[in-house]
Amino acid sequence: MPIKRVFHWQPNAGTTVNSQLLTEVSQCAETFNGVREGRWKPNLTFYKPMQRDQTIPADLPRDFLGIALPEQPNKYFLVIRGNGIVTEADSTIQVIMEKLQSYKSRISFTFEGIQYQLGDFLLRVGKVVPTHSENLRGIVMEVEYLPISSIEKGKVIMDEFFDLWQEALSNRSLPGHFSHIDTNFSDFGLSDTYTPQHTAVQYACVMAQMIASVQSVQALRS
């Protein structure tokens, strides 16, 4: 599988993300000679255990993330960040969890945007919104380099592409920048050869960072 990197928009202090900012970033992809190829729509859900008796210690993870990737429609990925666990299941696991009533969905987010082809790269840019809502919570970008499946071998060219992309964005003087979390995949038992599980882990880390940033801003305002 081709390597990917997932980025999130880090707004400048005192600024927030909005639809105009998303439009500007998308336009930058088009002026970067990107060719539109269609929509892109991953989904991420926070789950928590359904404890009927709160006095009994639960031998279960406190919570975990479930991630649906559009390129893997028959799979569902489960990530427990604190324990360094990522696993792949059949998409029907969501129905099974609901019927067993062991976990319930706390909140779901949809990443929705456009995919662009730029030579050997696929660039996906989109908004982050709670499912069934239009309340913009963030902007995410996914970059895929098609010829290589080794994370280490693709590092230099990914870095170079991102530098060029950041330079193009800087010409628009936007109030923020895209940030990448350097994930240690070995903590999750993942190798150098890229898999969909690597993507799931990146989305889990990005979502955690975005939530932490929002909470930090709210703390400063209170």
Domains of the chain by start residue, with CATH: 3-220 (2.40.320)
**CB-CB neighbours of 132 under 10 Å:** 7
* DSSP character string of 4-71: EEEEEEEEPTT----HHHHHHHHHHHHHTTPEEEEEE--EEEEEEE--S-TTSPPSS-S-EEEEE-TT
- What phi-psi label fits residue 217: left (phi over 0), alpha (psi between -120 and 50 degrees) or beta? alpha
CA–CA distance, 90 with 71 (Å, rounded to integer)? 14
Consecutive H or E run containing 126: strand 121-130
* DSSP character string of 142-198: EEEETT--BHHHHHHHHHHHHHHHHHHHHTTT-SEEEEE----GGGGT--SB--HHH
Determine the average pLDDT of the residues in 33-41. 90
In percent, how much of the chain has pLDDT > 70? 90
pLDDT at 112: 93
Tell whether the torsion through CA atoms of 148, 152, 158 and 160 is positive or negative.
negative
Largest CA distance in the chain: 59
CA–CA distance, 202 with 186 (Å, rounded to integer)? 13
Strand 43-49 relative to strand 176-180, pairing: unpaired
215 phi/psi in degrees, rounded to 5: -65, -35
Tell whether the torsion through CA atoms of 123, 129, 134 and 137 is positive or negative.
negative
Each residue's pLDDT tens digit, 166-180: 998 888 888 999 999
Each residue's pLDDT tens digit, 200-220: 999 999 988 887 765 544 443
Each residue's pLDDT tens digit, 52-106: 655 445 555 567 899 999 999 999 999 998 889 999 999 999 888 888 777 888 8
Which of 14 and 110 is assigned the larger pLDDT? 110
pLDDT at 13: 85
Determine the average pLDDT of the residues in 115-137. 91
CA-based nearest residue to 197, from 76, 43, 62 = 76
Greatest mean pLDDT among 59-73, 103-117, 185-199: 185-199
Greatest mean pLDDT among 9-13, 105-109, 185-189: 185-189
CB proximity list for 74: less than 8 A, separation 6 or greater? 90, 91
Joined tokens for residue 168: 């193009």
Q: How many CA atoms lie within 13 A of 151 on its CB side?
A: 16
CA-based nearest residue to 16, from 155, 158, 138, 154 = 138
